[in-house]
Protein backbone atom coordinates (compact mmCIF):
# COMPACT_ATOMS: atom_id res chain seq x y z
CA UNK A 1 0.00 0.00 0.00
CA UNK A 2 1.34 3.43 -0.88
CA UNK A 3 0.20 6.70 0.61
CA UNK A 4 -0.38 9.76 -1.51
CA UNK A 5 0.05 12.74 0.77
CA UNK A 6 -2.09 15.42 -0.83
CA UNK A 7 -2.32 19.14 -0.25
CA UNK A 8 -4.51 21.60 -2.11
CA UNK A 9 -4.53 25.36 -2.25
CA UNK A 10 -7.85 26.94 -3.16
CA UNK A 11 -9.32 30.32 -3.95
CA UNK A 12 -12.50 31.65 -2.40
CA UNK A 13 -15.23 34.08 -3.43
CA UNK A 14 -15.29 37.55 -1.88
CA UNK A 15 -18.60 36.76 -0.22
CA UNK A 16 -21.16 33.98 0.03
CA UNK A 17 -23.67 36.16 -1.79
CA UNK A 18 -21.38 36.51 -4.81
CA UNK A 19 -20.48 32.81 -4.81
CA UNK A 20 -21.28 30.39 -7.62
CA UNK A 21 -23.99 27.89 -6.61
CA UNK A 22 -23.36 24.17 -6.71
CA UNK A 23 -26.00 21.75 -7.97
CA UNK A 24 -26.98 21.18 -4.33
CA UNK A 25 -27.71 24.90 -3.93
CA UNK A 26 -24.76 25.41 -1.61
CA UNK A 27 -22.25 28.13 -2.50
CA UNK A 28 -18.89 27.09 -3.96
CA UNK A 29 -16.51 28.33 -1.28
CA UNK A 30 -13.28 26.69 -2.47
CA UNK A 31 -11.96 26.52 -6.01
CA UNK A 32 -8.73 24.54 -6.40
CA UNK A 33 -5.76 26.52 -7.75
CA UNK A 34 -2.84 24.26 -6.86
CA UNK A 35 -2.35 20.53 -6.25
CA UNK A 36 0.70 19.16 -4.45
CA UNK A 37 1.32 15.51 -3.59
CA UNK A 38 4.12 13.34 -2.22
CA UNK A 39 4.29 9.57 -2.55
CA UNK A 40 5.21 7.65 0.61
CA UNK A 41 5.71 3.89 0.20
CA UNK A 42 4.89 1.06 2.61
CA UNK A 43 8.31 1.47 4.27
CA UNK A 44 7.50 5.13 4.86
CA UNK A 45 10.08 6.30 2.34
CA UNK A 46 9.33 9.42 0.31
CA UNK A 47 9.45 8.34 -3.35
CA UNK A 48 8.48 11.22 -5.62
CA UNK A 49 6.17 14.18 -5.89
CA UNK A 50 3.54 15.86 -8.03
CA UNK A 51 2.82 19.55 -8.42
CA UNK A 52 0.36 21.29 -10.67
CA UNK A 53 -1.18 24.72 -10.83
CA UNK A 54 -4.87 24.82 -11.75
CA UNK A 55 -6.41 27.66 -13.72
CA UNK A 56 -9.57 28.74 -11.86
CA UNK A 57 -12.73 28.86 -13.95
CA UNK A 58 -15.15 30.51 -11.55
CA UNK A 59 -13.07 32.86 -9.36
CA UNK A 60 -10.33 34.07 -11.70
CA UNK A 61 -9.44 36.98 -9.49
CA UNK A 62 -7.58 35.67 -6.43
CA UNK A 63 -8.97 36.73 -3.07
CA UNK A 64 -6.40 39.05 -1.49
CA UNK A 65 -5.96 36.69 1.47
CA UNK A 66 -5.25 33.77 -0.85
CA UNK A 67 -2.80 35.93 -2.81
CA UNK A 68 -1.02 36.82 0.42
CA UNK A 69 -0.93 33.25 1.75
CA UNK A 70 0.11 31.44 -1.39
CA UNK A 71 2.07 34.08 -3.28
CA UNK A 72 0.16 33.03 -6.40
CA UNK A 73 -1.49 35.43 -8.81
CA UNK A 74 -4.54 35.13 -11.03
CA UNK A 75 -2.53 36.14 -14.07
CA UNK A 76 0.04 33.42 -13.41
CA UNK A 77 -2.64 30.76 -12.90
CA UNK A 78 -4.57 31.69 -16.04
CA UNK A 79 -1.83 30.04 -18.11
CA UNK A 80 -1.95 26.85 -16.02
CA UNK A 81 -3.72 23.58 -16.84
CA UNK A 82 -7.48 23.25 -16.35
CA UNK A 83 -8.83 21.18 -13.49
CA UNK A 84 -9.57 18.39 -15.96
CA UNK A 85 -5.93 18.31 -17.13
CA UNK A 86 -4.50 18.60 -13.63
CA UNK A 87 -6.83 15.92 -12.20
CA UNK A 88 -6.05 13.52 -15.05
CA UNK A 89 -2.32 14.03 -14.50
CA UNK A 90 -2.74 13.49 -10.75
CA UNK A 91 -4.77 10.35 -11.28
CA UNK A 92 -2.16 8.90 -13.65
CA UNK A 93 0.63 9.80 -11.24
CA UNK A 94 -1.16 8.21 -8.24
CA UNK A 95 -1.34 4.82 -9.97
CA UNK A 96 -3.40 1.95 -8.55
CA UNK A 97 -3.48 0.73 -4.91
CA UNK A 98 -3.10 3.87 -2.78
CA UNK A 99 -4.77 5.82 0.00
CA UNK A 100 -4.80 9.58 0.29
CA UNK A 101 -3.40 11.20 3.42
CA UNK A 102 -4.11 14.89 4.06
CA UNK A 103 -3.47 17.41 6.81
CA UNK A 104 -7.12 18.35 7.36
CA UNK A 105 -10.52 16.91 6.67
CA UNK A 106 -11.20 19.47 3.95
CA UNK A 107 -8.87 18.67 1.04
CA UNK A 108 -10.62 15.55 -0.23
CA UNK A 109 -14.19 16.85 0.13
CA UNK A 110 -13.04 19.97 -1.78
CA UNK A 111 -11.37 17.80 -4.44
CA UNK A 112 -14.56 15.75 -4.84
CA UNK A 113 -16.73 18.88 -4.95
CA UNK A 114 -14.51 20.49 -7.61
CA UNK A 115 -14.39 17.31 -9.72
CA UNK A 116 -18.16 16.98 -9.58
CA UNK A 117 -18.64 20.66 -10.37
CA UNK A 118 -16.62 20.18 -13.57
CA UNK A 119 -18.48 16.97 -14.40
CA UNK A 120 -15.30 14.91 -13.95
CA UNK A 121 -15.00 11.32 -12.73
CA UNK A 122 -14.26 11.13 -9.00
CA UNK A 123 -14.63 7.38 -8.52
CA UNK A 124 -10.82 6.92 -8.43
CA UNK A 125 -10.38 9.08 -5.31
CA UNK A 126 -10.96 6.18 -2.91
CA UNK A 127 -9.96 5.96 0.73
CA UNK A 128 -8.43 8.91 2.52
CA UNK A 129 -7.32 9.74 6.04
CA UNK A 130 -6.86 13.02 7.86
CA UNK A 131 -3.39 12.74 9.41
CA UNK A 132 -4.35 15.29 12.08
CA UNK A 133 -6.58 12.70 13.70
CA UNK A 134 -3.77 10.14 13.71
CA UNK A 135 -1.34 12.76 15.00
CA UNK A 136 -3.75 13.73 17.79
CA UNK A 137 -4.33 10.11 18.79
CA UNK A 138 -0.67 9.09 18.74
CA UNK A 139 0.85 12.15 20.40
CA UNK A 140 -1.87 12.67 23.00
CA UNK A 141 -2.62 16.08 21.54
CA UNK A 142 -6.33 16.18 22.30
CA UNK A 143 -8.93 16.52 19.60
CA UNK A 144 -8.54 20.12 18.39
CA UNK A 145 -7.38 21.18 14.97
CA UNK A 146 -3.60 21.58 14.70
CA UNK A 147 -1.53 23.59 12.27
CA UNK A 148 1.25 21.94 10.29
CA UNK A 149 3.81 24.11 12.03
CA UNK A 150 2.53 23.00 15.45
CA UNK A 151 2.88 19.34 14.49
CA UNK A 152 6.34 19.81 13.00
CA UNK A 153 7.52 21.56 16.15
CA UNK A 154 5.97 18.89 18.35
CA UNK A 155 7.79 16.16 16.44
CA UNK A 156 11.00 18.22 16.28
CA UNK A 157 10.98 18.35 12.53
CA UNK A 158 12.47 21.36 10.76
CA UNK A 159 10.32 23.43 8.41
CA UNK A 160 12.67 24.79 5.84
CA UNK A 161 10.23 25.94 3.15
CA UNK A 162 7.33 28.40 3.35
CA UNK A 163 3.85 27.08 4.18
CA UNK A 164 0.79 27.45 1.93
CA UNK A 165 2.55 26.07 -1.06
CA UNK A 166 0.82 22.81 -1.95
CA UNK A 167 4.08 20.91 -2.48
CA UNK A 168 5.85 22.28 0.61
CA UNK A 169 2.82 21.45 2.74
CA UNK A 170 2.57 17.96 1.24
CA UNK A 171 6.27 17.38 2.03
CA UNK A 172 5.78 18.61 5.59
CA UNK A 173 2.77 16.31 5.99
CA UNK A 174 4.77 13.39 4.54
CA UNK A 175 7.53 13.97 7.10
CA UNK A 176 4.93 13.93 9.89
CA UNK A 177 3.59 10.73 8.35
CA UNK A 178 7.06 9.15 8.60
CA UNK A 179 7.16 9.91 12.33
CA UNK A 180 3.79 8.32 13.08
CA UNK A 181 2.57 4.73 13.00
CA UNK A 182 0.42 5.28 9.95
CA UNK A 183 -0.69 1.65 9.59
CA UNK A 184 -1.97 1.53 13.14
CA UNK A 185 -3.48 4.99 12.71
CA UNK A 186 -5.51 3.79 9.75
CA UNK A 187 -6.53 0.60 11.55
CA UNK A 188 -7.82 2.62 14.46
CA UNK A 189 -9.06 5.53 12.39
CA UNK A 190 -12.79 5.04 12.62
CA UNK A 191 -14.53 4.56 15.88
CA UNK A 192 -17.50 2.45 16.75
CA UNK A 193 -19.50 3.62 19.68
CA UNK A 194 -22.16 1.79 21.61
CA UNK A 195 -25.01 3.07 23.66
CA UNK A 196 -24.14 2.58 27.34
CA UNK A 197 -25.24 -0.77 28.81
CA UNK A 198 -27.50 0.68 31.46
CA UNK A 199 -29.56 2.78 29.09
CA UNK A 200 -32.96 1.56 28.01
CA UNK A 201 -32.68 0.73 24.34
CA UNK A 202 -35.75 1.72 22.39
CA UNK A 203 -36.07 2.58 18.76
CA UNK A 204 -38.01 5.49 17.34
CA UNK A 205 -41.26 3.54 17.77
CA UNK A 206 -40.57 2.59 21.34
CA UNK A 207 -39.69 -1.01 20.52
CA UNK A 208 -37.10 -2.65 22.70
CA UNK A 209 -33.73 -3.27 21.02
CA UNK A 210 -30.69 -5.16 22.28
CA UNK A 211 -28.10 -2.59 21.26
CA UNK A 212 -27.58 0.55 19.29
CA UNK A 213 -24.21 1.31 17.80
CA UNK A 214 -22.76 3.82 15.39
CA UNK A 215 -19.72 3.80 13.17
CA UNK A 216 -18.70 7.22 11.99
CA UNK A 217 -15.97 9.29 10.46
CA UNK A 218 -15.94 9.17 6.65
CA UNK A 219 -16.70 12.54 5.06
CA UNK A 220 -18.62 11.24 2.10
CA UNK A 221 -21.19 8.55 1.54
CA UNK A 222 -18.97 7.00 -1.12
CA UNK A 223 -16.09 6.64 1.30
CA UNK A 224 -18.32 5.17 3.96
CA UNK A 225 -19.56 2.61 1.43
CA UNK A 226 -15.99 1.69 0.55
CA UNK A 227 -14.88 1.23 4.15
CA UNK A 228 -14.95 -2.53 4.83
CA UNK A 229 -15.01 -2.12 8.62
CA UNK A 230 -18.20 -0.05 8.37
CA UNK A 231 -20.05 -3.18 7.25
CA UNK A 232 -18.98 -5.40 10.13
CA UNK A 233 -21.70 -6.61 12.48
CA UNK A 234 -21.07 -7.80 16.01
CA UNK A 235 -23.08 -9.89 18.44
CA UNK A 236 -24.51 -7.38 20.93
CA UNK A 237 -23.92 -9.88 23.75
CA UNK A 238 -20.40 -11.29 23.22
CA UNK A 239 -19.01 -8.93 20.58
CA UNK A 240 -18.22 -11.77 18.15
CA UNK A 241 -18.14 -10.76 14.47
CA UNK A 242 -21.23 -12.12 12.70
CA UNK A 243 -21.82 -13.18 9.11
CA UNK A 244 -25.00 -11.88 7.47
CA UNK A 245 -27.55 -14.63 6.74
CA UNK A 246 -29.82 -12.47 4.63
CA UNK A 247 -30.01 -8.82 3.72
CA UNK A 248 -33.04 -6.86 2.59
CA UNK A 249 -32.48 -3.35 1.26
CA UNK A 250 -35.44 -1.26 2.48
CA UNK A 251 -34.34 2.06 0.96
CA UNK A 252 -31.23 3.59 -0.59
CA UNK A 253 -29.71 4.13 2.86
CA UNK A 254 -31.36 1.43 4.94
CA UNK A 255 -31.31 -2.34 5.11
CA UNK A 256 -32.39 -5.15 7.43
CA UNK A 257 -29.82 -7.86 8.03
CA UNK A 258 -30.40 -11.18 9.81
CA UNK A 259 -27.42 -12.85 11.47
CA UNK A 260 -26.86 -15.50 14.11
CA UNK A 261 -24.36 -15.86 16.92
CA UNK A 262 -23.66 -19.56 17.61
CA UNK A 263 -23.96 -18.80 21.32
CA UNK A 264 -26.60 -16.08 21.54
CA UNK A 265 -29.03 -16.85 18.75
CA UNK A 266 -30.39 -14.85 15.86
CA UNK A 267 -30.38 -11.08 15.60
CA UNK A 268 -31.98 -8.60 13.27
CA UNK A 269 -29.81 -5.56 12.51
CA UNK A 270 -31.45 -2.46 11.13
CA UNK A 271 -28.67 -0.63 9.38
CA UNK A 272 -28.95 2.99 8.28
CA UNK A 273 -26.46 5.35 6.62
CA UNK A 274 -26.79 8.88 7.93
CA UNK A 275 -25.26 12.21 7.06
CA UNK A 276 -24.15 14.13 10.12
CA UNK A 277 -22.77 17.60 10.71
CA UNK A 278 -19.17 18.52 9.88
CA UNK A 279 -19.26 16.50 6.69
CA UNK A 280 -19.26 13.13 8.38
CA UNK A 281 -21.22 10.04 7.52
CA UNK A 282 -22.26 7.41 9.97
CA UNK A 283 -23.66 3.91 9.99
CA UNK A 284 -26.25 3.51 12.71
CA UNK A 285 -27.15 -0.05 13.65
CA UNK A 286 -30.05 -1.07 15.85
CA UNK A 287 -29.86 -4.72 16.93
CA UNK A 288 -32.89 -6.79 17.92
CA UNK A 289 -33.05 -10.31 19.28
CA UNK A 290 -35.28 -12.65 17.29
CA UNK A 291 -37.93 -12.30 19.96
CA UNK A 292 -37.79 -8.49 19.87
CA UNK A 293 -37.82 -8.44 16.08
CA UNK A 294 -40.73 -10.85 15.69
CA UNK A 295 -43.04 -9.31 18.25
CA UNK A 296 -46.54 -8.97 16.77
CA UNK A 297 -46.28 -5.18 16.89
CA UNK A 298 -42.74 -5.17 15.55
CA UNK A 299 -42.04 -2.04 13.52
CA UNK A 300 -43.02 -2.29 9.85
CA UNK A 301 -40.41 -1.26 7.23
CA UNK A 302 -38.99 2.28 7.74
CA UNK A 303 -41.10 4.07 5.12
CA UNK A 304 -44.47 3.01 6.54
CA UNK A 305 -43.09 3.50 10.01
CA UNK A 306 -42.50 7.19 9.44
CA UNK A 307 -46.00 7.69 8.07
CA UNK A 308 -47.56 5.93 11.03
CA UNK A 309 -45.58 7.93 13.50
CA UNK A 310 -46.86 11.16 12.14
CA UNK A 311 -50.48 10.09 12.20
CA UNK A 312 -50.40 8.48 15.64
CA UNK A 313 -50.06 11.22 18.20
CA UNK A 314 -49.78 8.79 21.08
CA UNK A 315 -46.47 7.39 19.91
CA UNK A 316 -44.78 10.72 19.49
CA UNK A 317 -43.54 11.22 23.01
CA UNK A 318 -41.80 7.86 23.13
CA UNK A 319 -40.44 8.34 19.63
CA UNK A 320 -38.81 11.60 20.52
CA UNK A 321 -37.28 10.14 23.67
CA UNK A 322 -35.79 7.30 21.68
CA UNK A 323 -34.50 9.75 19.08
CA UNK A 324 -32.73 11.54 21.89
CA UNK A 325 -31.07 8.29 22.90
CA UNK A 326 -29.96 7.72 19.31
CA UNK A 327 -28.65 11.28 19.07
CA UNK A 328 -26.66 10.77 22.28
CA UNK A 329 -24.87 7.76 20.79
CA UNK A 330 -24.22 9.63 17.57
CA UNK A 331 -22.92 12.66 19.44
CA UNK A 332 -20.53 10.45 21.37
CA UNK A 333 -19.32 9.05 18.07
CA UNK A 334 -18.92 12.55 16.61
CA UNK A 335 -16.91 13.69 19.59
CA UNK A 336 -14.68 10.66 19.36
CA UNK A 337 -13.69 11.31 15.77
CA UNK A 338 -14.15 15.00 15.17
CA UNK A 339 -10.85 16.63 14.28
CA UNK A 340 -12.40 20.03 14.83
CA UNK A 341 -13.90 19.25 18.19
CA UNK A 342 -14.05 22.31 20.39
CA UNK A 343 -11.53 21.71 23.14
Stretch that binds Zn ion, among 212-220, 222-230, 234-242, 310-318 (CB under 5 A): 234-242
What does the chain come to in residues? 343
The secondary element (H helix, E strand) that includes residue 313 is helix 313-337
- The one among 224, 235, 257, 271 contacting Zn ion by CB under 5 A: 235
Closer of 54 and 235 to Zn ion (Cβ): 235
| Minimum distance from residue 126 beta carbon to Zn ion (Å) | 34
For residues 237 to 276, the per-residue mask of contacts with Zn ion, x marking binding by CB under 5 A and - elsewhere, is: xx-x--------------------x-xx------------
- For residue 331, state whether it binds Zn ion (rule: CB under 5 A): no
Give 188 or 241: the residue with its C-beta nearer to Zn ion: 241
Closer of 62 and 287 to Zn ion (Cβ): 287
Residues whose CB is less than 8 angstroms from the CB of residue 200 and which lie 6 or more positions away in sequence, other chains included = 325
Query: Is 95 or 239 the residue whose CB approaches Zn ion more closely?
Result: 239
Q: Smallest distance from the beta carbon of 310 to Zn ion, in angstroms?
A: 36
Cβ distance to Zn ion smaller for residue 261 or 333 = 261
- What is the DSSP annotation of 90-151? HHHHH-SSEEEEESSSSHHHHHHHHHHHTT---TT---EEEHHHHHHHHHT--SS---HHHH
Backbone dihedral angles phi then psi of residue 158, each to the nearest 5 degrees = -75, 145
Beta carbon of residue 261, minimum distance to Zn ion (angstroms, whole number)? 3
Write down the least CB distance from residue 257 to Zn ion, Å.
Answer: 15
Q: Report, in Å, the least distance between residue 246 CB and Zn ion.
A: 18
Q: Which residues contact 205 (CB under 8 A, 6 or more apart)?
A: 299, 305, 309, 315, 318, 319, 322
Q: Which of 218, 169, 163 is nearest to 192 (CA)?
A: 218
Nearer to Zn ion, 148 or 287 (CB): 287
Query: How many other C-beta atoms lie within 10 A of the C-beta of residue 90?
Result: 21
Least distance (Å) between residue 201 CB and Zn ion: 16
Task: Please give the helix or strand (H or E) that residue 336 lies within, else none.
Answer: helix 313-337
Q: Are strands 46-53 and 31-40 parallel, antiparallel or unpaired?
A: antiparallel
Q: Give min distance, CB of 283 to Zn ion, in A.
A: 20
Nearest residue to 101 (alpha-carbon basis) of 28, 1, 31: 1
Stretch that binds Zn ion, among 61-69, 158-166, 194-202, 236-244 (CB under 5 A): 236-244
Residues near Zn ion (CB under 5 A)? 235, 237-238, 240, 261, 263-264
Amino acid sequence: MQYIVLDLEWNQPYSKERAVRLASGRPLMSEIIQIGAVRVDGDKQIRDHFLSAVAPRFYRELHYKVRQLTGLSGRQLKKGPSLREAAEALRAWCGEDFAFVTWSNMDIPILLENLQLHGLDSSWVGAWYDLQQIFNAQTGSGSGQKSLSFALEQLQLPMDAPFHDALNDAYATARICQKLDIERGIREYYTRSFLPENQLHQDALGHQMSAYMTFSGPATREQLMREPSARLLFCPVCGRELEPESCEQTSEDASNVWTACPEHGRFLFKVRLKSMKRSQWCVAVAAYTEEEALKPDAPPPPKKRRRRRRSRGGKRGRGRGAKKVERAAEKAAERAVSPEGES
